[in-house]
Amino acid sequence: METGATKERLYVETYGCQMNTYDSGLVEKILSDRFATVGNPEDADLILLNTCAIREKAHEKVYGRLGSFRDLKKRNPGLVIGVLGCMAQNLGDDLFAMGLPVDILAGPDNYRSLPGLVDAVRESGHHKILTRLSLDETYAEIQPGVVQGCLAYVTIMRGCDNFCSFCVVPYTRGRERSRDQRSIIDEIKQLVDEEGVKEVMLLGQNVNSYKSNGGDFAGLVEEILKHTNVMRLRFTSPHPHDFPEHLLRLMAAERRFASQVHLPLQSGSTSVLERMKRDYTREEFLDLVYRIRSIVPGVGLTSDVIVGFSGETEEEFQDTLTAVEQSRFLMAYMFGYSEREQTLAQKKFPDNVPEAVKSERLGRLITVQREGAAKANLEEVGRVHQVLVEGYSKRSEADFAGRTDSGKVVVFPVDSRTEPGELASIRITASSSATLRGELV
């Protein structure tokens, strides 16, 4: 683009996890020389939907959204519409065959090619697809600056080598590869020193598999704490099968390394876990929960749980209920099983639990999780926590909201003695299953 030329307009819409949020930032950065980001698709020359392939409902949302763009396409024939991310990688040409207004499909490892794909569509008038998986692409030198309030996301690795039978991620994001340690530290330094970020969330499909410069994930955390002024560091998500004790010791010792662990359970039944190819048993998971709590007092545990996986019996589901009850997760992402294209489960394990049974079990699971969280939060009443103030509460500008070191949400009255981005000492006065209420000490 010539100096002084007017930029085209880009609209990006994100579905799914924090890694997709980060990837949308990468896309905006890659296209920033030619496109200015706008907040309304009707104003855009290029619309990109960055998608998730974890559940069928995520697909349905994207289908509906693309359908709503038909009129925009008719009114603006020069408009280019693209589908990015896991759904593009997973479905490929099938998306074009649906007759939806789509010009570009690009998988997660192909975002550097987006400018050329846009040009190719405009020159040829035909749709384009690029879904090559890479063994080395990490976008390491691109710093997208994905900031939400005082929190920023930083991806430290891409892909996954676990191949759980239900999961499509290894097929949509490829094999594990880690970013260079120096590039991660440089990105965090810029976020903290130049953009005022206070808290960073390290992202990866399995962060405790991180390997770079001869160091592991705990080594990366140590280097980040040593070389940056980040106030609080979090991560998501690890896998239970390779959770190192020295990482827990570091968490217990370092004030700035938040005492929060997202620990995906998926199922509390050993037999279901075996079908899921999760390579740990119910007993091993619960032993890990006990070990984490014993090494890191006050730790906040969250999780992922699937109900209704292939062949799940009522007895197996009861194992999940009791495992969730014993683990006392503060929060959990809980879903009915949704079969995915390309996965081992699709080929080997039939999706044979009726949807009505899945829904009924999911309801019971949610109740058990919320009851456990409510009991855990009730124990916080009277305690004082250091809360990182994130901003106004979603419900009222009369209250601030923030999080404890363990990740618990705290709401308290706005007070001139503190402001967003600061740590505040808050005494907890009341609780629910999701939120603590307090007052500034």
CATH number at residue 411: 2.40.50.140
**pLDDT at res. 214:** 87
- Does a structural domain hold residue 359? yes
Given a cut of 60, whether residue 5 has pLDDT beyond it is yes
Q: Is residue 138 part of a domain?
A: no
190-235 pLDDT per residue, tens: 999 999 999 999 999 999 999 998 899 999 999 999 999 999 999 9
- Specify the range with the lowest mean pLDDT, choosing from 87-101, 253-267, 371-385: 87-101
Are residue 302 and residue 163 in the same domain, yes or no?
yes
> Which pLDDT score is estimated for 169?
94
Residue 54 pLDDT exceeds 80: yes
One domain for residues 326 and 214: yes
pLDDT at 104: 98
My answer on whether 64 and 100 are in the same domain is: yes
Give the domain CATH number at 359. 3.80.30.20
pLDDT at 247: 96
- Does residue 318 register a pLDDT over 80? yes
Task: Quick: pLDDT tens for 361-419.
Answer: 999 999 999 999 999 999 999 999 999 999 999 999 999 999 999 999 999 999 999 99
Residues 59 and 157 in one domain: no
Are 204 and 268 in the same domain? yes
Q: What pLDDT does residue 4 have?
A: 53
284-297 pLDDT, tens digit per residue, is 999 999 999 999 99
- 137 is a domain residue: no
Asked whether the predicted pLDDT for residue 243 surpasses 90, the reply is: no
Q: Are residues 221 and 77 in the same domain?
A: no
Domain boundary among 337, 354, 378: 378
Answer with the one of 78, 96, 130 that is the final residue of a domain.
130
What is the residue range of 174's domain?
147-378
Q: Are residues 338 and 434 in the same domain?
A: no
Domain termination residue (choose one: 89, 105, 130): 130
pLDDT at 434: 94
For residue 301, pLDDT over 70 is answered with yes
| Residue at 164 is within a domain | yes
The lowest-confidence range among 51-60, 164-173, 313-322 is 51-60
In-domain check, residue 139? no
175 lies in the same domain as 213? yes
- Please check whether residue 136 lies inside any domain of the structure: no
pLDDT tens digits along 105-145: 999 999 999 999 999 999 999 999 999 999 999 999 999 99
User: Does the residue 294 lie in any domain?
Assistant: yes
pLDDT band at 58 (very low <50, low <70, confident <90, very high): confident
Confidence of residue 55 (pLDDT cuts 50, 70, 90): confident
Check whether 255 has a pLDDT greater than 90: yes
pLDDT value at position 341? 87
Read off the pLDDT of each residue in 337-352 and give the average, rounded to a whole number: 94
Asked if 68 and 167 sit in the same domain, the reply is no
Same domain, 86 and 56: yes
What is the pLDDT confidence band of residue 68, given thresholds at 50, 70 and 90?
Answer: very high
Say how far apart CA 221 and CA 148 lie, in whole Å.
21
Rounded to the nearest 10 degrees, the angle between the axes of helix 245-253 and helix 217-227 is 20
> Over the stretch 223-234, which tens digit does the pLDDT of each residue have?
999 999 999 999
Q: In angstroms, rounded to a whole number, what is the distance separating the alpha carbons of residues 23 and 19?
A: 6
User: Do 119 and 99 belong to one domain?
Assistant: yes
Residue 415 and residue 354 in one domain: no
Does the residue 2 lie in any domain? no
The pLDDT of residue 191 is 98
Q: How many domains does the chain fold into?
A: 3
